[in-house]
Chain A
Amino acid sequence: MRRFVLIAVPYVWLLALFLVPFVIVFKISLSDAAIARPPYLPQFDWVSGFGAFLADLDFENFIFLTEDNLYWKAYLSSAKIALISTFCTLLVGYPIAYAMARAPDEWRATLMMLVILPFWTSFLIRVYAWMGILSNEGFLNQFLLWTGIISTPLTILNTNTAVYIGIVYTYLPFMILPIYAALERLDGSLIEAAEDLGCSRLLAFWLVTIPLSRPGIIAGSFLVFIPVLGEFVIPSLLGGSGTLMIGKVLWEEFFSNRDWPVASAVAVILLLILVIPIVLFQRNQQKQAEAEE
């Protein structure tokens, strides 16, 4: 009995507030928009039942998405931005994780803390901090003008460059921590062996360190790529009118256009796109867990 309650309470909670809402999103994505409150026509009517639902069923919101260029472009450009920024985060994060793993033992706890601390600080504030740095009269431009590297201010805020900087900055801890965890376990004698056998240090790094830290690289990349794909705050604060990301499109479809069925259809497709990287990520984690056993 106690076991039943223990299982049932969190289970029912998640069913009611996680799974059922998705079913509703899916349902509304199939319904028609209407000027009403709520602004859509019910698609499933319990009285007329399942037969009527099937008879009425059309995928017009999804067809609408394929017909309007905006959505295609938004999905593609989100994927492109997520891919490029994941790669940049890896390039910035790997040397930091590597240096942390080589640091003396007594430093490591402090270094860890320094990486984790920004993660606890408000995401919104960390994105906001860059607005003052990247604007035309911001600190970066002041600094570059002062050093004489540039003579006219660069326009960075409200461009995709600012979005990339914001993503690398906010998601960096997600990349550093798994790579650090993989590198920390790395047996130093393997690298010595490689060097004894005639590898240069760079070659030993390339042939030994990188392959052995691969699980960390993969985990970190997914942890950045997956949430960035649906990111809303960064493109809306740092990006410009030309920054097209699907999270922002969904937000505007919902709050500005008040087209709930189309917003739901956008969400359903984003979910379908996300299933692939999420499954790959789960597999990577499982393989790692098995390898450890």
Chain B
Amino acid sequence: MNKLSWFNVVSLTLGFAFLYIPMIILIIFSFNESKLVTVWAGFSTKWYGELMQNEAFLNAAWVTVKVAVFSSTIATVLGTMAAYVLVRGGRFLGRTLFSGMIYAPLVMPEVITGLSLLLLFIGIGLDRGVLTIVLAHTTFSMCYVSVVVSSRLVTFDRSLEEAALDLGCSAAEAFRLVTLPIIAPAVISGWLLAFTLSLDDLVIASFTSGPSATTLPIKIFSAVRLGVSPEINALSTLMIAVVTVGVITASLVSKRATLRQKQDEQAAAREA
């Protein structure tokens, strides 16, 4: 059924226009000379210059990147472990509770997650700062990582691992030499997902951050509440650019990896 009717073409065009025009407008007006964000007054990059001089934003950006790197890395390790346990762990005491705790944060409203973590940190007397945001972000993003990784593990041919074990690998070696390379694309996309979730999070970070650590979304939110500003447009444009480049690179890399894997498999099959 590979024939597009005029109706299909119209819905695709309108749909993608709806998805992209708001962002395109935002990008165009970040280069606007005027402070009035809805009136075009000539091309200028002065808002980017002002942004680079705004120390509060730069500090917040640094905190955000730090939090994202730490939390997504820990979350990837924990999430991969959790995925392995869910797919390969067999039966163990409290398995239902475990899988419930993996899936529940995916649908939990952020206000509830944030509130509950804040009450925990206060209850145990932990000062709010970078550490508490990292702990909070790790907790919800490890669940996303484990969903992504377990979907790859489910389709993974287990006999490959068994073959490695038969050929004298220890369980750890079999994991490192066979399993990990095969699930690597899923692990990497899990890390990327965790990283962007952390960069993006406003609500949970607001609850779990203290005066010593402000993240970029918190800063943007408090600025945006007062209205639209060309400086925020410039900042948004930079963030959109980073994400776009990142996503396109990641998809190209993973496409090439799958292609190579297929070629390897075919070559192996020919030799056999």
Contacts and interface: CB of A to CB of B under 8 A. Distances in A.
Interface of A: 2-3, 6-7, 9-11, 13-15, 17-22, 24-25, 28, 38, 92, 95-96, 98-100, 102-105, 111, 113-118, 120-126, 128-133, 135, 137-139, 142, 169, 172, 188, 191, 226-227, 229-233, 236-237, 247, 250-251, 254, 260, 263-264, 267, 270-271, 274, 278, 281-282
B38 A132 contact: yes
B111 A247 contact: yes
Contacts of A274: 107-109
Most buried by B among A14, A103, A133, A142: A14
Contacts of A123: 200, 202
B115 A130 contact: no
Nearest to B19: A118
Contacts of A254: 115, 207
Given A9-B78, A121-B23, A260-B119, 20 more contacts: A6-B85, A6-B89, A10-B98, A14-B98, A17-B120, A17-B139, A18-B105, A96-B12, A98-B8, A99-B15, A114-B16, A122-B199, A123-B202, A132-B25, A172-B18, A230-B109, A230-B110, A232-B203, A251-B203, A267-B115
Interface string B160-200: 00000000000110000000000000000000000010011
A126 B22 contact: yes
Contact of B38 (A7, A135, A282): A135
B224 A98 contact: no
A247 B109 contact: yes
B51 to A, nearest CB: 14
Closest 4 CB pairs of A and B: A230-B109, A21-B116, A95-B11, A99-B8
Interface residues of B, number: 82
Most buried by B among A13, A18, A113, A237: A18
B52 interface: no
Contact of B115 (A14, A25, A125, A131): A25
B11 A96 contact: yes
B12 A169 contact: no
B42 interface: no
Contacts of B15: 92, 95-96, 99, 172
Contacts of A113: 247-248, 251
A128 B236 contact: yes
B199 to A, nearest CB: 7
B84 interface: yes
B114 to A, nearest CB: 9
